Amino acid sequence: MTCKDAAELIEAIAAGDLEPSDEIRTHFETCPSCAGALAMARRLELALVADRPPATPEKFVPAVLQRVRRERWRMEQNVDRLFNVAIVLAFIIVAVGALALMNLSGVLAAAAGASSALSELSGQIAHQMQPALNTYVAAAGLLLTALGMWWWAERRTSF
């Protein structure tokens, strides 16, 4: 074992990668120059280890990704649910409006059949049309809201 051989092993020994054999150990114990070099390498190694940033815990990144995925999924579900509720509401309002319109035709037919006074008929039409019109305005507004939500949800989930 020469000093040249020992010098090539110093780094590995200081880093703990190499368990020195008896022959190597004897050389470091008897050769002051190599012992000094090894001590220096060990101090350097310690400084490097102390300076090293803490390793990211192994499960940290997958855990964060899973959390993000779960939150995103939950948000999409909420949007889906709101969207479905809005659509159902819109259909109910449209159905109610259609029923109101059918009732109105029935009333008109009955009124015509009974040959009521024209003023009374027009008065009835105006009276019956008002809530139906309100229903249509509300249904249109709700449909627009639902379409807007759908557009928003599509944009949210497609990037």
Residues that bind Zn ion (CB under 5 A): 3, 6, 31, 34
- The CB-of-35 to Zn ion minimum distance in angstroms stands at 8
What Å distances lie between residue 17 and 9, 20, 69, 149, CA to CA?
Answer: 10, 9, 40, 61
Q: Measured from the CB atom, is 24 or 111 closer to Zn ion?
A: 24
| Cβ proximity to Zn ion, 2 vs 103, nearer residue | 2
Question: Could you tell me the smallest distance in angstroms from the CB atom of residue 21 to Zn ion?
Answer: 15
Nearest of 59, 150, 27 to residue 158 by alpha carbon: 150
Q: Which positions ≥6 away from 149 have C-beta within 8 Å? A: 79, 82, 83, 86
Q: How far is the CB of 23 from Zn ion (least distance, A)?
A: 12
Residues in the chain: 159
Residue placing its CB nearer to Zn ion in the complex, 34 or 111: 34
Closest to Zn ion by CB, 38 vs 93, is 38
Least distance (Å) from Zn ion to the CB of residue 1? 8
The contacts of residue 7 (CB under 8 Å, 6+ apart) are 34, 37
